[in-house]
């Protein structure tokens, strides 16, 4: 009796483990039978065609003696023309940052003087007319509510210093 009961119990358990989801499996198989992945064919690889170098008879602009002659010519032509930056002047903190990385975030007026508020790196700085900022010897020439105007000194390839105007526009801060 006991054996018969155990056999009946095992048979009942085996019947429970049948194809319970066979209808779902059949439907999924019917839906995906036409789906096949397609890989585009690889493009044809063209053979490498070397380009001949045809500037052997030209002057090599990277020849060291040519560079030294150009540098000596710039140094030997007397004092460079135009303005020159004061290299002996102590640098101000904002001269460590490129002008492109400095943002004007506001302005304030105290008495008759207008100050600009600029952000460089994680810090906020208060600047006024006459302060230096940027890496091109930029001196602030004017500050108003919407921009800070600067005059920068940039050295050209010939060794001459050229003055150029730049400005920082007020950046709207999103909250």
113/125 Cα distance (integer angstroms): 16
16/10 Cα distance (integer angstroms): 10
End-to-end Cα, the chain, rounded Å = 81
Q: What is the pLDDT of residue 147?
A: 92
152/166 Cα distance (integer angstroms): 7
Select from 153, 129, 130, 136 the least CA-distant residue to 102. 136
Per-residue pLDDT of the chain (175 residues; tens, 9 = 90+): 777 777 776 666 666 555 677 788 888 888 888 777 788 899 999 998 888 888 777 777 666 655 555 555 555 555 555 678 888 889 999 999 999 999 999 999 998 899 999 999 899 999 999 999 999 999 999 999 999 999 999 888 777 888 999 999 988 766 6
Select from 91, 139, 148, 138 the least CA-distant residue to 114. 148
Q: What is the pLDDT of residue 22?
A: 79
Rg value, the chain, Cα? 38
Owner of token pair 């930056």:
85
107/131 Cα distance (integer angstroms): 15
Paired tokens of 48: 């490498």
Q: Which of 3.40.190.10, 3.30.70.270, 2.30.30.830, 3.10.450.50 is the CATH number of 93-169?
A: 2.30.30.830
Q: Where are the domains of the chain?
A: 93-169
Select from 125, 116, 109 the least CA-distant residue to 169. 116
**Model-level pTM?**
0.53
CA distances from 124 to 6, 49, 78, 79, 167 (A): 83, 56, 43, 39, 18
């Amino acid at each position: 009796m006991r054996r018969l009961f155990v056999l009946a119990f095992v048979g009942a358990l085996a019947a429970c483990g049948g194809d319970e989801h066979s209808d779902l499996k059949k439907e999924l198989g019917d839906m995906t039978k036409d789906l096949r992945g397609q890989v585009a064919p690889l493009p044809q690889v063209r053979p490498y065609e070397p380009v001949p170098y045809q500037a052997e008879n030209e002057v090599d602009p990277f020849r060291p003696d040519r560079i030294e002659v150009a540098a000596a010519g710039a140094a030997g032509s007397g004092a460079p023309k135009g303005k020159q930056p004061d290299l002996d002047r102590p640098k101000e903190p904002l001269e460590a940052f490129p002008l492109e990385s400095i943002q004007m975030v506001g302005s304030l007026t105290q008495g008759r003087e207008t100050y600009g508020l600029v952000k460089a790196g994680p810090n906020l700085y208060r600047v006024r007319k006459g302060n230096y900022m940027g890496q091109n010897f930029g001196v602030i020439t004017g500050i108003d509510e919407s921009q800070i105007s600067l005059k920068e000194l940039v050295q050209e390839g010939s060794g001459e210093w050229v003055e150029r105007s730049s400005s920082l526009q007020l950046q709207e801060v999103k909250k």
